[in-house]
Structure 1
Amino acid sequence: MLGHEIRKGAYGRVCKGLDLENGDFVAIEQVPLQSSAQEDLNIIMRQINLHKDLNQKNIIKYLGFFMTETHLHIVLEYVDNESLANIINPNNFGPLPEPLVAFYVAQVLEGLVYLHEQGIIHRDIKGANILTTKEGVVKLVDFGVAMKLTEADVDMHFVVGSPYWMAPEVIEMSGVCGASDIWSVGCTVIELFTGVPPYNDLHPMQALFRIVQDEIPPIPDSLSPGVTDFLRQCFNKDARLRPDAKTLLSHPWLQSWKRRVVLQSSG
């Protein structure tokens, strides 16, 4: 049974749903069939096949799909809290403090370690695609533009993702890779600290130009040296020199906050 809309998905609105057999809440993404070309539906089914076997706590669970005359319905795990983009909205809590940003970012990286080990690139990491449970567990959502690394050479000539979070090699169509997600993580860190991603004051096309031309995106002066170093590593223009997700999990900035949490809990 469909309930109210809870967010926008890659292909249509996402509604809260109720499983009438066991009473579980689920999330259901509705894809309108009439306005979707057959090619689009083929892509959606490819994404379903990519998503269905993923099983890691920081990745939203795929539960199944069903068809009606008007829609394809994709059934997903229901997450009770909002996205990080909603949480940092000025009408809610606004930009987040450093310990909480570190807590969330570490979980995003855990999810990316798993995805990249499966040979999958998310390609749209940003605050709006990171949900949290009421226990504070992060869930990466919206696999609408995710891809297998084996498909990278086929898909290289299409620029996909969200402009302000997009890596330079994606914009230049010079080869999307796992490191492209790491650039987006850097943009998301700035988003969580300031409320907006880098270049947000520019038109998207101007932002894309600056991402390619600038040596590094603007890093706010207010950030600590640890965060600044973390971001500089995420923003290495040479994707081959960007650290992978597992390496970044060991970055001193994340480790320092992890140690503080352990000390506080043991004290």
Structure 2
Amino acid sequence: MNPVTQDKEKITKCFMFSVTAEKKKPTYFTTQLSDYKTGSLIGKSSFASTCVYTGQFRMTNKIVAIKRYNLNNISTEEINLIQREIIMMNQLTNPFIMSSLVSFVAGCEVILILPLMEYGSCSDLIKKHFFSGLPESVIKIVLKDVLKGMEFIHKKGIIHRSVRASHILIGSDGCTRLTGFRYAYCKKSNDNYTNKPRQIFEFPQNSESNLNWVSPEVLKQNMCGYNEKSDIYSLGITVCELANGFPPYINIRSTMMLMDKLNNKIPLIYDSSNINNADDLNEDIIKAFSSSYSNRKFCEHLHSFKNLCCTLNPEERPNEIMLLNHPLLKKSRSRKKPFSELVFPITPIKEEINVKKSQNKKMEREKT
């Protein structure tokens, strides 16, 4: 079979899944790419040459995000991951979960029309300004919303398996949504979450890039298996990533990372209480961030929260409800400042779009 025919089969297969998985409720968005005006590139991934753009639905002028998967020269496994993500995002409806507005195929691309999350991902915030980690007030807001999203999917029998900063999106009001569902596993609907969670044994496909966040029980790949508690461990690693500006284990081999996890060596959140004893930082990181770490002090509750999430034994690890009642989050029930002030000077994407529009109009007037 020639490559062109194979590509057509892949596209058709994805199209079938995207349509059959569509939510059975009215949609106000069309399935024609020409009905959307594509704006600036706001995200990119090597997976399936994925690109995310700002966009505008021409019929209503609604600002959206346009996610485009390129199906040329990708494997059947990658096709399956795209199908999984489309199905999950079409079926899950929750304020703390990213769901698609509509999905369709255009040429050799699968298109997802999504709500625009104006601040991008937590990873974007770190890359743009908070190089040594996010403020504690922002971390608390993010953790509370992520836990609510995790509670929702776990009750549905879904294990995320890829909780990390780049899969946590933030809207203009500071509300966050969990995304990255192509690695998720959905257990059978008759599993009862209220009883002891059923163990699963499947290792996530194409998950090499997520290994730093993966729990020890998933990495072991033994007969004990793993369950929803593996996401809690990944959240603990994400706490370190949000607070430090980078994930743990970035400078060591995978085998050493596995040994550290199995030996219950919990990674640190660096601040003035421990930076002088941090023996796992390389010289480049110390040179770049040691001053920032030395001049800050996170509350003990944040350190405690992270340690509980990274408990080695899954049975002793708390679930989402327990963590939502942790002192770290119980004390942050109301926001004293607008989210925009907490992440200043970063501005929402929508504001950047409006500024560019104003600049373009000004340039046009000057020309005339």
Q: With structure 1 as the length reference, what TM-score do the two structures score?
A: 0.86
CA contact (8 A) 2:201 2:221 kept: no
Aligned-pair CA distance for 1:260? 8.3
CA contact (8 A) 2:126 2:245 kept: yes
> Which one-letter code corresponds to 1:33 in the other structure?
L
Aligned-pair CA distance for 1:79? 1.1
Aligned-pair CA distance for 1:3? 2.6
Taking a change above 3 Å as real, the CA distance of residues 70 and 158 of structure 1, as seen in their structure-2 partners, is: closer
Structure 2 residue ranges without an equivalent (≥5): 1-36, 190-198, 275-296, 338-368
> Which one-letter code corresponds to 2:232 in the other structure?
I
CA contact (8 A) 2:264 2:311 kept: no
Whole-angstrom CA distance in 1 between matches of 2:228 and 2:51: 28
Residue 231 (str. 1) matches residue 306 (str. 2):
yes
Aligned positions of 1:1-267 closer than 5 A:
1-9=37-45, 11=48, 12-89=50-127, 91-94=128-131, 95-150=133-188, 153=200, 155-156=202-203, 158=205, 160=207, 162-174=210-222, 175-220=225-270, 221=274, 222-258=297-333
RMSD across aligned C-alpha pairs, in angstroms? 2.5
CA contact (8 A) 1:85 1:128 kept: yes
Aligned-pair CA distance for 1:141? 1.7
CA contact (8 A) 1:211 1:217 kept: no
> Which one-letter code corresponds to 2:43 in the other structure?
R
Whole-angstrom CA distance in 1 between matches of 2:177 and 2:183: 17
CA contact (8 A) 2:89 2:98 kept: no
Residue-by-residue CA offset, 1:168-192 (whole Å, 9 max, x unaligned)? 1121124242111111111111112
How many residues align structurally?
A: 261
Q: Which sits farther off after the overlay, 5-14 or 227-236?
A: 5-14
Whole-angstrom CA distance in 2 between matches of 1:26 and 1:259: 29
Q: With structure 2 as the length reference, what TM-score do the two structures score?
A: 0.64
Aligned to 1:265: none
Aligned-pair CA distance for 1:113? 0.9
Whole-angstrom CA distance in 1 between matches of 2:107 and 2:261: 43
> Which one-letter code corresponds to 2:63 in the other structure?
F
> Which one-letter code corresponds to 1:135 in the other structure?
D
Whole-angstrom CA distance in 1 between matches of 2:82 and 2:177: 20
Structure 1 residue ranges without an equivalent (≥5): 263-267
Aligned-pair CA distance for 1:230? 1.2
Taking a change above 3 Å as real, the CA distance of residues 38 and 61 of structure 1, as seen in their structure-2 partners, is: same
Taking a change above 3 Å as real, the CA distance of residues 154 and 212 of structure 1, as seen in their structure-2 partners, is: closer
Q: Say which SS state the counterpart of residue 52 (structure 1) adopts.
A: helix
